[in-house]
Structure 1
């Protein structure tokens, strides 16, 4: 196991190095740069900017330097000082911009994840155990609907219902009077009062998909010989169900733990934009539009790092959960 972990750690370093080069290269592929994008936006609004000012901005941000010089400055700042650079658009350190929004993104994603698991697991188990019953058909129907309907469409529908029938906007995570206020009990309660809608929208397709996966996995296990043997020996049905087939049905979920860590940070970008949520997704989207390369590159590097770490943790968790799985490396 130690050899496997060391080998994976070495591969993680190589993978992240390749991702950093590819990310920085792809960000620079579109024609122009942040300054030219800024110039085009100002001209669209009927404003003009002096060429001297444009040249000053390019010199300030190092946009005149060759690709590898810009990349070297960025990576050396990250590795030596933990400095991700400054955002062109916001004129602030990238680390401040990201961490300002990570807290809300993490809280929203984690709340959604817990709700999805709490709802999907019991329904999936019931749907498999009561196959072809009325409850199974209802769960299957809503599962297909939840997977087929786009989340942003559900968000728009709920926003319309809120404004049309209740006379209030359901977008955002905080009321206007609390957005710039310090955190206190009132602000936390206001956050909780707004949190239910994005959790419901973001968790819809995840819940539907998890129900289908749990049902399919459990159906595969329910009729295997070890289950029939345990039932023939007189083991109580509920104990048999939880001890053997349900446990074995959870193995695929451990193999996807690697997706959870970046998901907790990035959240749902499209839903965040539709619902005006102050999370990290819209920040990344705006940075891509404005060719804010340090902000985009730092975001992708953080998410990539979380992905490779999560993948390693998922492999180790899967081996711990399912004794049928063993890692072998170098004859170990």
Structure 2
């Protein structure tokens, strides 16, 4: 097992380097650069564009250098713990994304726990009680959850909260804790405010995993090994959890690699609607303004989360499924 984990970790290193190169190429792909975007904004605001200042900015940020030279300079600085300076904000990227990325990861982790806690038992119930009233109700709610955009649910909850409850459901902190240093009270306030975003972002994921769990468990429930175990006298509950559910968990575990970064990057519109101080709105702004170092740091971190999630899912799959061999 240790050899298997070590081999997967070693394979993750070249994948991360390739992901960093791809991330940098994606940022450089649109025509122009940050200075071009900055000049366009000045012209749109009716301000005079000074060519000398634009040339000075391009030289200062090294935008006239070749793609490879800029990439080597960027990735070598990251290895030293320096993510560069944001063009737009004129602040170190690490300072800008530190707390926002931590809040995004917290929100994504809470959403994943919510989707698993809800989808697993409901999916099992729907498979075991197939074609019953409960199964049909779960199926209808699941299809509604899949068809309803998250941002629409966010707007509906905002309206309901303001009009009927007189409460503001936006943000992740109460006004008195927004600029306050971290403390136990601020953490409790964060947990209270996480409930609404988790419900909104987790709706579609939960509905999808319920359908996946139901379909996979139905494939396992009528296999010969289940009939054999039942004939040996195992109780229905123990038989269900020990064999078919264990094997039907594979899709759940295999989704860790893409679900975690997908929750972070896929909740951008919800974060904008709910005014969440997470990484998503800042990442969107960085991509629109072609802020190379800021956008590159976000994309690189999301890629690292994907690769790390795939590593975790591979190890967990090897642990829960005896059909998967380390070699």
Q: What's the offset of the Cα at 1:185?
A: 4.2
Distance 1:262 1:157 in 2: 25
2:33 — aligned with what? 33
Q: Structure 2 vs 1, CA of residues 319 and 165 (structure 1 numbering), >3 Å: closer, same or farther?
A: same
Distance 1:260 1:82 in 2: 27
Instruction: After superposition, give the CA deviation of every residue in 1:51-107 in whole Å (9 maximum; x if it has no partner).
Output: 33222222221112222221121122122x121111111111112222121221122
1:71 — aligned with what? 71
What is the 5 A alignment of 1:113-124? 113-124=112-123
Q: TM-score, normalised by structure 1?
A: 0.91
1:23 — aligned with what? 23
1:249 — aligned with what? 248
Matched, 1:270 2:269: yes
Q: What secondary structure, in the 3-state scheme, does the structure 1 residue paired with 2:204 have?
A: helix
1:232 — aligned with what? 231
Segments of structure 1 that go 5 or more residues without pairing to the other structure are none
Further displaced range: 98-107 or 15-24? 15-24
2:126 — aligned with what? 127
Matched, 1:47 2:40: no
Q: What secondary structure, in the 3-state scheme, does the structure 2 residue paired with 1:254 have?
A: helix
Further displaced range: 6-15 or 289-298? 6-15
Q: Structure 2 vs 1, CA of residues 230 and 5 (structure 1 numbering), >3 Å: closer, same or farther?
A: closer
Q: What secondary structure, in the 3-state scheme, does the structure 2 residue paired with 1:312 have?
A: helix
Contact 1:172 1:194 in 2 (8 A): yes
Q: What's the offset of the Cα at 1:162?
A: 2.0
1:146 — aligned with what? 145
Distance 2:183 2:11 in 1: 44
Contact 1:267 1:279 in 2 (8 A): no
Segments of structure 2 that go 5 or more residues without pairing to the other structure are none
Distance 1:186 1:100 in 2: 17
Contact 1:87 1:294 in 2 (8 A): yes
Superposition CA RMSD, Å: 2.1
Q: TM-score, normalised by structure 2?
A: 0.92
